[in-house]
């Protein structure tokens, strides 16, 4: 199937003292009375606050019932939250189940494994076990190779714990949005390119992913160089300068990370991408990457969704899963995965 563009109709007290004993006694009594009244008022306020909190908790939507949180996928996971993951939908399964590994976004510098909770629940409610890992942020916790090594550690961890969490290793999909979408694409390349495996020092797991799903993925890492410098402003500049020139200007590293030059474009065969024309963050880059794959005769799916009821933006289907457009976009992702089940 060649690139398919769909204009989606798819559908955030004090008292004083006198000189006489009587005056002192009266003042003490008055102070005691004031303190008692103050304590009573404080107690009443505290009780009212407690009651209000209790009512709010009762009214709050309960947490997802089938969730196993904060599982360490590396030895230091007990002290380093970046090396933990959550699993949705495994407790209620009795046999090997189709699975999605969902990599969150955050511009490479932020986010965590709960960022995509609502979207992960959409997959879980569709019958999937969903694994949502955390990973090192750049540059606070390391550089890109560190994160890539963590991701491949996660992929192997899934294989090692498949039986425990009812994961069907014949039907595992890799999904990610924004920066997470980039990590899906670079993982897709590394899985098939021995040179990249050697450069990053990783070994693919014993299974192959059944499909790759990207939501508004970052595809132009090199373009971030244009926003480096104290004279630059705006969200792109903030992101680029946070990542830092030491990383982005490392030609050797970037030559192994630039999606246009690090590998043969054929490794992206079958990838699923989606965006919206009103995505001002990665939209232009996704359209450009779609054209690049098409020009190189790489079969893939590209869906673009127009806002019909809501003003769509970057990763709209992740942040607003209840929107009509998001419901359609997420169902399209699920349908894509269902079509590839073995």
pLDDT 10s digits, 202-229: 999 999 999 999 999 999 999 999 999 9
pLDDT 10s digits, 68-80: 999 999 999 999 9
Q: Are 314 and 282 in contact (CB under 8 A)?
A: yes
Phi/psi at 97 (nearest 5 deg)? -130, 145
Of 59-68, 221-230, 295-304, least confident by mean pLDDT is: 59-68
Count of the separate structural domains present in the chain: 1
Q: Does any domain span residue 25?
A: no
Domain span holding position 234: 85-338
Measured over the CA atoms of residue 322, residue 304, residue 311 and residue 114, the dihedral's sign is positive
Q: Does any domain span residue 105?
A: yes
Question: For the whole model, what pTM was predicted?
Answer: 0.83
Mean pLDDT of the chain: 87
Q: Does any domain span residue 266?
A: yes
Domain containing residue 317: CATH number:
3.40.50.1820
Q: Does any domain span residue 38?
A: no
Q: According to the model, what pLDDT value does residue 222 have?
A: 97
pLDDT 10s digits, 129-177: 999 999 999 999 999 999 999 999 999 999 999 999 999 999 999 999 9
Per the listing, tokens 């004031």 go with 34
Q: Does any domain span residue 192?
A: yes
Q: Does any domain span residue 39?
A: no
Q: According to the model, what pLDDT value does residue 239 have?
A: 98
Q: Does any domain span residue 103?
A: yes
Q: Report the C-alpha gap between 103 and 118 in whole angstroms.
A: 13
Q: Does any domain span residue 132?
A: yes
Joined tokens for residue 88: 């949705």
Q: Report the C-alpha gap between 106 and 283 in whole angstroms.
A: 16
């Amino acid at each position: 199937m060649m690139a398919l563009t769909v204009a989606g109709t798819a559908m955030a007290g004090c008292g004083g003292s006198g000189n006489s004993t009587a005056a002192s006694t009266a003042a003490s009594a008055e102070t005691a009375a004031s303190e008692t009244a103050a304590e009573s008022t404080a107690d009443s306020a505290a009780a009212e606050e407690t009651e209000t909190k209790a009512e709010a908790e009762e009214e709050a939507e309960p947490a997802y019932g089938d969730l196993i949180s904060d599982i360490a996928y590396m030895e230091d996971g007990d002290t380093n939250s970046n090396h933990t993951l959550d699993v949705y939908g495994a407790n209620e399964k009795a046999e090997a189940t189709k699975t999605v590994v969902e990599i969150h976004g955050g511009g490479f510098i932020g986010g965590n494994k709960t960022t995509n909770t609502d979207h992960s629940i959409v997959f879980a409610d569709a019958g999937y076990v969903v694994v949502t890992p955390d990973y090192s942020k750049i540059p606070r916790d390391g550089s890109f190779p560190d994160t890539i090594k963590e991701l491949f550690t996660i992929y192997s961890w899934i294989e090692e714990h498949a039986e425990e969490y009812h994961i069907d290793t014949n039907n595992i999909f890799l999904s990610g949005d924004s920066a997470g979408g980039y990590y899906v694409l670079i993982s897709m390349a590394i899985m098939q390119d021995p040179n990249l495996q050697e450069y990053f020092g990783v070994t693919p797991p014993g299974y192959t992913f059944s499909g790759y799903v990207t939501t508004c993925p970052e595809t132009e890492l090199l373009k971030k160089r244009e926003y480096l410098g104290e004279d630059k402003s705006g969200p792109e500049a903030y992101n680029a300068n946070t990542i830092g020139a030491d990383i982005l200007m490392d030609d050797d590293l970037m030559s192994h990370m630039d999606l246009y030059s690090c590998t043969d474009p054929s490794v992206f065969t079958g990838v699923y991408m989606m965006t919206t024309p009103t995505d001002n963050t990665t939209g232009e880059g996704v359209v450009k990457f779609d054209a690049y794959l098409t020009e190189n005769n790489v079969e893939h799916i590209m869906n673009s969704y127009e806002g019909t009821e809501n003003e769509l933006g970057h990763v709209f289907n992740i942040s607003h899963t209840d929107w009509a457009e998001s419901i359609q976009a997420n169902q399209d992702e699920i349908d894509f995965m269902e079509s590839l089940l073995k």
